[in-house]
Each structure stands twice: as C-alpha cells, then as structure tokens.
Amino acid sequence: MVISMPRGTQDILPEESIKWQYIEGKLREISKNFCYEEIRTPMFESTELFSRGVGDTTDIVQKEMYTFQDKGNRSLTLRPEGTAGTVRSYIENKLFAKTIQPQKLYYVGPMFRYERKQKGRYRQFVQYGVEVIGEESPKIDAEVISLAYNIYRMFGIENIKVSINSLGNPEERQAYNEALVKHFEPRINEFCEDCNNRLYKNPMRILDCKVDAGHELIKSAPKLLDYLGEESKQYFAEVLKHLDALGVKYEIDHNLVRGLDYYTHTAFEIMIDNPEVELKTLCGGGRYNGLIKLLDGPEDKKGIGFALSIERLLLALESENIELPIDDTIDVFVVAMGEEASNAGVKLTNDLRLAGYSVQNDYFDKKMKAQMKIADRYNAKYSIIIGQSELESGTLVVKDMKSFEQEIIKLENIVDYLQEKLRGEK
C-alpha cells in the first residue's frame, strides 16, 4: 500500500519552495525595516494556554485543535495560532522588563488546525505574524495595520482594503453581547447549529457566521459602535486619523468581530478589493489588552498583532497574476572532459562553492554536448570547461551561457574573474 501525506497537508516541491523562500525572506526584510525582531516559540504548548488564551467558546478550541497526552500524562496541543505562545514567552521570559518598550516581535512558522480542507486552508499551514506587546497607543494600532496593508502592496497586490471595527472594552462588549442575545433569541431556530450554540456563549460570533451571512437579522443587528463609551470612540477615531495620515484605505465593518475571545478595541482584516476574486480575506488581527493579565502577566501590559497565511498570500499573488522575481539560476556549471579533468573539476566545484558561488558539475562523465545541455537545465550563467589541454596549461575556458562568448582564464584567477563578472549579484 502506498503511504500518502495526511489529509489537509501538502508537499511543497522545489519549484514551489523557491517562492516560499523568497516570500519568507521578503517578510523578514520588511520586518527589519519596521524594527520588529524575530521570536521562535515551540510548535506545541500546554493545552491550557489555548483554552485560556484563545477562549473555550471559539471554534479553534472546541473543534480544531490537535491535542494529545504525552508520556507524562500532560495535555499538549500543536499550536493553532501564534499570539498565545508569543504572549506566554513574553511573560515567562520577563520581556516586560526590557529597556525598550513596547516589544515588537514577529514569527514565521507552521500552525495546526483540524478544519475542513478548502482553497487556501490546510490543517498544517504557515503563518507570518507580528505582536507589539507592552504599551497601548492609537499610533501603534495604525502602525500594525499599516504594516499588514503594505506587505501586500510590496508584493504588488494593489487592490486591497482594510475592514476595521472597534470591539470596545470588556464592559462595552458585554453590554453589546446582551443586546445581541435579545436581538437573535426570538428567531434563533432559523440559524445554523453553530449559531444556536453561540447565542449565550459568544453571540458576537453569529455576526461572523458564513452559513447565515445573508439572514435579515444579521443585517439588522445592533452596531457595536453604538455601545462604545466616549473613551473607546475617541481611541477608535484616533486610529482612523493615523490610518488616513499613512494612506491606508479602509472601511468600517460593523459586523467584523474576529474569531478569538481575546480581542478588544481595534479589530481589522485585510481584504482583496476585487469582486471577481473568490478569495476575499487575506489576514486579520486586532488589539488584545486583557490577554497578558489573563495569562498571569503584568496587568498594565497591552498588546496588538496580526497574522497572515503564506498559502493565502500565494493564492492572492496568483489571482492577481503577479510573478515573483525569483532567481532560479546558478552561477557556474563545471564541464570536465576526461578522468583527470573530472577529478580536477570536482575540486574546482568545491573550491568555488566555498568561495560563495552556486556551482554544479556532472556526476556521470557524460560527453561535452550532454554536459552543456545539463548546464542549460540548471540555468547556469557561466560554464567552465576543463579538458586535458587546460590541465596542462593551467587554464580554464569560461563560457557566458547567454552571449556564448568564451574567454581563457588562468586557474588561479578564476575567483577574481567571477567576482568581477557577478559583481552586484552577491
């Protein structure tokens, strides 16, 4: 029997993984420009971290987590998202005591959720996320949203917008939840099973339901902004003012509530602003002022962040017909003719690799014409030809694979020659 990969996962083959490498490299470069530092947390954590941090009433905790007992009978869970683990590390490693505050962190890595496979969704998927933990300011919120917004623009995706809402503080959110219960309760039997289960546990999630999105009660539901106090309204207005200054295109979405319990105040999603594209939501995030305290950290520390799926970023690039500027060339292919030259070619290949060049040679002593075809398949910029006469004269024939021009170069000068030819590419 042929063993297949687990359902909801994917093999990323070399012709695709080169795109992933480019994207991840670009994300790290952008993060550095915005002064975010990388954090790496375990792929599995205590189950309690997610049940407390993400929320018992969320779909993630109730339906989607990969949870198991280890040999010490401890309940562990493969991380379904990155915020809870980052906050746990912030508290455990006392990053709140660092001189520089807030802590601006980013991560790139696999997450795991047991959900139905669909386009852009996998049970193992890779997220890039940022978290700004320690201080609260509308300027921070606007910076985080601007970072998410501009990531897509830097990859060439122009048709995007920010959907944004304010979830208020816990007291305002509670008052709003009570209003939603009164609104939906008389006709809750018209909604799906999930919405029925959410009515008293987390009624805001009904607004986010994909099954009943067109129901008239969702369209006529109370607006959360009407339940905000003056302080929360002013904070939200300041966020929008800074987004205007940053040139971020946004629209207020009164039904945007996000799926996790820890969000307060600012919540947002990045959307493709193109009615012809099936994939709409690219990433989301928001402020989580109570999460640090909930996980037994300092009460006065606040946080905000977002996460994006690299799988969905790739789909967005595809939907917008954007080609990544991938360099799939190698610097040199060494062509050796004859046994003695072949041995010298192996040494030359190794010497050039150690000098910082990408180099390949032939393993099977093929004829020169066949080796040149292999050099073409590798998209080599140059081929270096060694035969008996070159060995005797201490020279190499260097061929430009685009112009087909050839030069004879002394063996001891080859590194300097390549450095001159490939200057600016290294």
Residue 377, domain CATH: 3.40.50.800
> In 3-state terms, what secondary structure has residue 207?
helix
User: Residues 315, 344: one domain?
Assistant: no
167: Cα separation from own chain's centroid: 25
User: Residues 391, 257: one domain?
Assistant: no
**173 in a known ligand binding site:** no
Cis ω before 138 (30° cut-off from 0) = no
Q: Are 23 and 318 in contact (CB under 8 A)?
A: no
67: Cα separation from own chain's centroid: 23
Report how far apart, in Å, the C-alpha atoms of 373 and of each of 221, 379, 383 are.
66, 10, 11
| CATH of residue 122 | 3.30.930.10
User: Residues 235, 301: one domain?
Assistant: yes
Q: Are 249 and 157 in contact (CB under 8 A)?
A: no
Report how far apart, in Å, the C-alpha atoms of 34 and of each of 116, 130, 132 are.
35, 11, 12
CA angle 329, 29, 37 (to 5 degrees): 140
**113 in a known ligand binding site:** yes
What residues pair up with 131 in beta bridges, in sequence order?
A: 105, 305
CA angle 93, 96, 101 (to 5 degrees): 130
Distance CA 115, CA 372 (A): 49
**Sequence letter at residue 189:** N
Q: Are 396 and 408 in contact (CB under 8 A)?
A: yes
State the maximum Cα–Cα separation within the chain, in Å, rounded to a whole number: 94
**329 in a known ligand binding site:** no
Nearest to 83 by CA among 115, 60, 99: 60
CA atoms within 13 A on the CB side of 6: 11
pLDDT of res. 213: 81
Q: Looking at the domain assignment, is residue 157 inside a domain?
A: yes
Q: Of 302, 320, 338, which residue sits at a domain end? A: 320
Neighbours of 316 (CB within 10 A): 26
Q: Are 163 and 251 in contact (CB under 8 A)?
A: yes
pLDDT of res. 342: 95
Q: Of 280, 297, 320, which residue sits at a domain end? A: 320
Distance CA 273, CA 420 (A): 46
User: Residues 234, 103: one domain?
Assistant: yes
pLDDT of res. 255: 80
Backbone angles phi, psi at 301, to 5 degrees: -90, 135
User: Residues 342, 316: one domain?
Assistant: no
User: Residues 247, 340: one domain?
Assistant: no
Q: Looking at the domain assignment, is residue 334 inside a domain?
A: yes
User: Residues 247, 378: one domain?
Assistant: no
Tell the residue number behind the tokens 């994909």, with chain if given: 210
| End-to-end CA, the chain | 47
pLDDT in tens, 34-78: 999 999 999 999 999 999 988 776 778 888 999 999 999 999 999
**114 in a known ligand binding site:** no
Distance CA 122, CA 126 (A): 9
Q: Of 320, 344, 370, which residue sits at a domain end? A: 320
Backbone angles phi, psi at 347, to 5 degrees: -65, -40
Q: pLDDT in tens for each of the 426 residues of the chain?
A: 899 999 999 999 999 999 999 999 999 999 999 999 999 999 999 999 999 988 776 778 888 999 999 999 999 999 999 999 999 999 999 999 999 999 999 999 999 999 887 777 899 999 999 999 999 999 999 999 999 999 999 999 988 999 999 999 888 888 888 888 899 888 888 888 888 888 888 888 888 777 888 888 888 888 888 889 999 999 999 999 999 999 999 999 888 876 566 678 999 999 988 776 666 889 999 999 989 999 999 989 999 999 999 999 999 999 889 999 999 999 999 999 999 999 999 999 999 999 999 999 999 999 999 999 999 999 999 999 999 999 999 999 999 999 999 999 999 999 999 999 997 565
Nearest to 90 by CA among 74, 107, 76, 78: 107
User: Residues 243, 383: one domain?
Assistant: no
Tell the residue number behind the tokens 């295109």, with chain if given: 249
Nearest to 128 by CA among 235, 258, 25: 25
Q: DSSP string spanning 346-393?
A: HHHHHHHHHTT--EEE-SS---HHHHHHHHHHTTEEEEEEE-HHHHHH
Distance CA 139, CA 243 (A): 9
pLDDT of res. 251: 94
Neighbours of 237 (CB within 10 A): 12
For the chain, how many structural domains are there in total? 2
Q: Looking at the domain assignment, is residue 222 inside a domain?
A: no
**127 in a known ligand binding site:** yes
Q: Are 352 and 418 in contact (CB under 8 A)?
A: yes
pLDDT of res. 348: 97
Distance CA 395, CA 406 (A): 13
pTM, 2 dp: 0.89
User: Residues 259, 363: one domain?
Assistant: no
pLDDT of res. 84: 95
* Segments forming the whole domain that contains residue 370: 330-423
User: Residues 348, 240: one domain?
Assistant: no
Q: Looking at the domain assignment, is residue 5 inside a domain?
A: no
User: Residues 368, 313: one domain?
Assistant: no
**406 in a known ligand binding site:** no
pLDDT of res. 59: 74
Q: Looking at the domain assignment, is residue 1 inside a domain?
A: no
Q: DSSP string spanning 241-270?
A: HHHHHHT--EEE-TT---S-TT-EEEEEEE
Nearest to 417 by CA among 386, 349, 408, 404: 408
**82 in a known ligand binding site:** yes
Q: Are 265 and 225 in contact (CB under 8 A)?
A: no
Q: Looking at the domain assignment, is residue 189 inside a domain?
A: no
User: Residues 305, 398: one domain?
Assistant: no
Tokens of residue 167, six digits: 């979830």
